[in-house]
Amino acid sequence: MSNYNYSSKLNIKDTEIAIKKLKDYFERDLAEEFNLVRVSAPLFVRGDSGINDNLNGVEKPVSFSIDGVNSNAEIVHSLAKWKRYALHEYGFNLYEGLYTDMNAIRKDEILDNIHSCFVDQWDWELIIKKEDRNIKYLKEVVERIYRCLKRAETYIVSLYPILEKQLSDEITFITSEDLLNMYPTLNSKDREKEACKKYGSIFIIGIGKNLSNGMPHDLRSPDYDDWDLNGDILVYYKELDIAFELSSMGIRVDKDSLVKQLKVTNNLDRLNLKYQSLLEKGELPFTVGGGIGQSRMCMFFLNKRHIGEVQSSIWTDEIIKECKENNIVLL
């Protein structure tokens, strides 16, 4: 961590005020753009429900017991599956959706400038037609989200002109296979960085499936996103010289892609769980959805060098020491 003569453009008080203004603006705009209703969401779910996000299959959720309940409770990793089930249970109609504040604990996260054990994001989900399950519709949704991000950036810079706009005018779509062909000698993270430096903002299509080199671009749980119809929004963040992920999203699995992806990952036993069973029976609506990082977005738009400048979390003694040495004030 080098300081590059770093000095936050906003003091702590102004940072906190800006965070609230930015979050309020963005979530209102997102809700209007996609016809979303704000709903309450769980902090923890039953471990035997199949609803928790398994992420890449390695991270273990924080769990605890509740007197009288015959299953451990698990702190959510995300609400990727819960949202689709909620749309079904709450009686939402075609092209109606929901969004919620998702707060999670990911205890296995490796801490650094952009990763915290505390994860906060807007989780959103929209009911679509079966015919919408295609790349063209996915790109349309991504472009609408990107326009929301652009409007949020314009808004916050209008309030705090000292801040610098960083988003490119347009977002560029690249498949994970094309990205591999562009930079065959680089690992996936370095491929992301080079593409972001070249284009500014990108959406990488196809996360989870094996590429021509026999490896996936990145791991993705097999039972919510369709690996052919999903992706990540990444932007170049010159403050840290990195590719910076703002959102992970996608068109969700139907029963065919669910079974296919569970077979590939040797997870067919999940079909015995409630959520996956409903999916296999075709009882849940077709949806598109994703998560948009709240602290990530605030960090990027407020030109911060560490995610701990926009959220309160726990850090190692080494990170705290390095931040002090580099003039980074953690909340």
pLDDT at 57: 55
Q: 1 in a domain, yes or no?
A: no
Tokens representing 213? 């080199």
Total domains present in the chain: 1
The whole-angstrom separation of Cα 199 and Cα 183 is 14
| 88 in a structural domain | yes
Average pLDDT over residues 108-116: 87
Task: Give the pLDDT of residue 54.
Answer: 62
Q: Which of 174, 232, 239 is nearest to 207 (CA)?
A: 232
pLDDT tens digits, 258-269 = 999 999 999 998
Mean predicted lDDT score pLDDT of the chain:
91
Task: Return the percentage of the chain with pLDDT > 70, whole number.
Answer: 97
Is residue 3 one of the residues assigned to a domain?
A: no
> Residue 4: inside a domain, yes or no?
no
Q: Is 100 left (phi over 0), alpha (psi -120 to 50) or beta?
A: beta
Tens digits of residue pLDDT in 43-90: 888 877 777 766 555 667 787 888 778 888 888 877 888 899 899 999
Q: Which of 250, 237, 234 has the alpha carbon at shortest distance from 293?
A: 234
CATH code at position 230: 3.30.930.10
Catalytic residues: 53, 106, 121, 232, 245, 248
Q: Is residue 7 domain-resident? A: no
- Tell me whether residue 313 is in a domain: yes
Tell me the per-residue pLDDT of 48-61, one tens digit each, with 9 for 90 and over: 777 776 655 566 77
Find how far residue 184's CA is from the centre of its chain. 26
93 vs 241: CA distance, rounded Å:
43
pLDDT tens digits, 221-249:
898 899 999 999 999 999 899 999 999 99
Domain for residue 97, yes or no?
A: yes
Please report whether residue 331 resides in a domain: no
Domain interval for residue 50: 12-325
